[in-house]
Structure 1
Amino acid sequence: MYENLVVSADWLADHLDDVRVVDVRDAWEFDGIGHVPGAVSIPFDSFRSDVGDEGMLPGTAVWTDLMNEAGIDEDDTIVAYDDTHGVFAARFLVTAELYGHRDLHLLNGDFSAWSREHEVEREAREFPESEYAVRDPEHSPLVGYEYVLDAVDRVADADAAGDGAGDDVVIVDTREPEEYAESHVPGAVQLDWLELVDDDSRGLKPRAELESILADRGITPDKEVVLYCNTARRISHTYVVLRQLGYEHVAFYEGSLTEWQERGGPVEREA
């Protein structure tokens, strides 16, 4: 998944005949505003689990049905996009990775990056139904409550040592500063996922700037990075960015703060 993970609109234009493009915007946007030629519509709400379990995986049966209806095979090259800086498309890609899909890419700069320079299509194309086979992922970044609880202890031990000893893990809260101040996992550093996005292009900031922002928070490639938000949407984007930058040890706490608080996990607050 990680080679050339984030691709430009020009790259997509050059490879359009060789990839399957997935549009995760609402269906009315796909039809009314237009879409990348040859794209299939798989709206964000269709690959999330039911109410009461927001943000979690949809289940093998649901995922298989979605892929079959879209005519996507498990070995297809997929490029996903949305109109929200890539955060919803990133969640699609992480979901696909967890169901064993391996050739995955995010369109940098979302749909606007395409529509500014390339033609759009308004009629949906028909693709023959596929027989998608879910596989075990080559690597699963998913971690659970107990894993994060242990990471909290590791951060606390490193802080108590005072000399950086054992400081090999960083917990990252990808929500807005106000949310972080209200309640966060103890020892977590705050990094709003939008800090990694360029306002003008709607895509990622230049690599050097990304690395500087991350280093300022102590989020460096030599550490294990444990990501959380509220319902696993925002961490999906940060996860994709970190993997694009070559971070190898990235943990994805899908339950995030929703599960953490439901299970009585400790929290910190800021005045």
Structure 2
Amino acid sequence: MYENVVVSAAWLAERLGDEDTSVIDVRDGWEFDGIGHVPGAVNVPFEEFRSEAGDEGMLPGAEPWERLLSAAGVGPEDHLVAYDDTHGVFAARFLVTAELYGHPIEKLHLLDGDYSAWNRERETTSESPSSEPTEYAVREPERSPLVDYETVRDALDDEGIVIVDTRDPREFAEGHLPGAVNVDWRELVDDETRGLKPEADLREILEAAGIVPDAHILLYCNTARRISHTYVVLRSLGYEDVGFYEGSLTEWTERGGPVETGSETESE
């Protein structure tokens, strides 16, 4: 089990300025410059590391990713602490992308809460960071959580696998993978703190849906953004057997995968 997957504002504050810590703000540039940011953070906007013309699903491709992180001054062994202003869902996508391109998984961290939560009690700045470019290079990850269409299709008939739809209940009712359970990623977030709910609450929500630590879990949404948040949460709780369907429902429907309609309540 990896420690410090999700880190507190206090944890980050103690490490600001450390040479081996890169703080990544994935908001749009106008927010980073105009609203302010965590001191020392660098801006890698979400839209710059999402591409339908890149690798599998919405991954940007190895070379664009290398260029982005090199320009941001990220070192290959840096601790990366990512944040956004949307409860962490966009920041989580950055971290999963980093993992899939081989950044050491134990050095990937999601700031618990977002920019608004940080701004309530801590210093922010509008000054541009002075980071030196690096020559960042992708690596093969030690273990990739990615699963493909065929793996998910075969899982439909496997009662030992829990397929999890992380979209909202309305989307789920309009169409989902057969047998999937629905846990909206927002159920795991506290609207007041803007961070994760307490661990006991998270486990209760997940386990009520059959998402238990020793289960084989496959995650999907529409374009793999929302599952990134759920994936990071599960990893923070010590879940080890979690598959990440990068193609998600977009690829699934394009390839003619079967879809059910109706809510879980209706099917009980």
Note if 1:228 corresponds to 2:230. no
**Secondary structure of the equivalent of 1:153?**
coil
The structure 2 residue matched to 1:142, chosen from 141, 146, 149, is 146
The equivalent of 1:162 in structure 2 is none
The equivalent of 1:78 in structure 2 is 80
Corresponding letter in the other structure for 2:17: D
The equivalent of 1:35 in structure 2 is 37
* Equivalent-residue separation in structure 2 for 1:99 and 1:2 (angstroms): 18
* Equivalent-residue separation in structure 2 for 1:224 and 1:124 (angstroms): 44
The equivalent of 1:254 in structure 2 is 246
Cα distance per residue 1:54-73 (max 9 Å; x no partner): 96110011000001111111
**Secondary structure of the equivalent of 2:69?**
helix
**Secondary structure of the equivalent of 2:109?**
strand
* Equivalent-residue separation in structure 1 for 2:102 and 2:216 (angstroms): 23
The equivalent of 1:159 in structure 2 is none
Deviation, 1:126, is: 2.1
* Equivalent-residue separation in structure 2 for 1:91 and 1:58 (angstroms): 12
1:1-271 map, 5 Å:
2-18=2-18, 19-50=21-52, 56-102=58-104, 103-155=107-159, 168-270=160-262
The equivalent of 1:164 in structure 2 is none
Could you tell me the TM-score, scaled by structure 1's length?
A: 0.93
* Equivalent-residue separation in structure 2 for 1:100 and 1:138 (angstroms): 7
Task: Please list every run of 5 or more consecutive structure 1 residues that lacks an aligned counterpart in the other structure.
Answer: 156-167
- Checking the alignment, whether the CA contact within 8 Å between 2:53 and 2:60 is kept in structure 1 is no
**Secondary structure of the equivalent of 2:157?**
helix
* Equivalent-residue separation in structure 2 for 1:129 and 1:15 (angstroms): 20
Deviation, 1:114, is: 1.3
Cα distance per residue 1:155-190 (max 9 Å; x no partner): 3xxxxxxxxxxxx21000000101000100000000
**Secondary structure of the equivalent of 2:252?**
helix
- Checking the alignment, whether the CA contact within 8 Å between 2:54 and 2:61 is kept in structure 1 is no
* Equivalent-residue separation in structure 1 for 2:5 and 2:116 (angstroms): 19
Cα distance per residue 1:223-259 (max 9 Å; x no partner): 1110000000000000000000000000000000000
Deviation, 1:139, is: 1.4
* Equivalent-residue separation in structure 1 for 2:197 and 2:45 (angstroms): 26
- Worse-superposed segment, 1-10 or 145-154: 1-10
Corresponding letter in the other structure for 1:77: H
- Worse-superposed segment, 103-112 or 54-63: 54-63
**Secondary structure of the equivalent of 2:16?**
helix
- Worse-superposed segment, 38-47 or 8-17: 8-17
* Equivalent-residue separation in structure 2 for 1:71 and 1:210 (angstroms): 35
Task: Give the length in aligned residue pairs.
Answer: 259
Deviation, 1:2, is: 3.2
**Secondary structure of the equivalent of 1:31?**
helix
**Secondary structure of the equivalent of 2:218?**
strand
Deviation, 1:50, is: 3.6
Cα distance per residue 1:59-99 (max 9 Å; x no partner): 01100000111111110111000000000000000000011
* Equivalent-residue separation in structure 1 for 2:255 and 2:117 (angstroms): 41
- Checking the alignment, whether the CA contact within 8 Å between 1:73 and 1:133 is kept in structure 2 is no
- Checking the alignment, whether the CA contact within 8 Å between 1:48 and 1:54 is kept in structure 2 is no
- Checking the alignment, whether the CA contact within 8 Å between 1:55 and 1:233 is kept in structure 2 is no
Where do 4+ consecutive residues of structure 1 move more than 4 Å? Answer: 51-55
**Secondary structure of the equivalent of 1:147?**
helix
* Equivalent-residue separation in structure 2 for 1:235 and 1:243 (angstroms): 12
- Checking the alignment, whether the CA contact within 8 Å between 2:50 and 2:60 is kept in structure 1 is yes
Cα distance per residue 1:85-141 (max 9 Å; x no partner): 000000000000011111110000111221111110101112111011211112100
Task: Please list every run of 5 or more consecutive structure 2 residues that lacks an aligned counterpart in the other structure.
Answer: none
Could you tell me the TM-score, scaled by structure 2's length?
A: 0.94
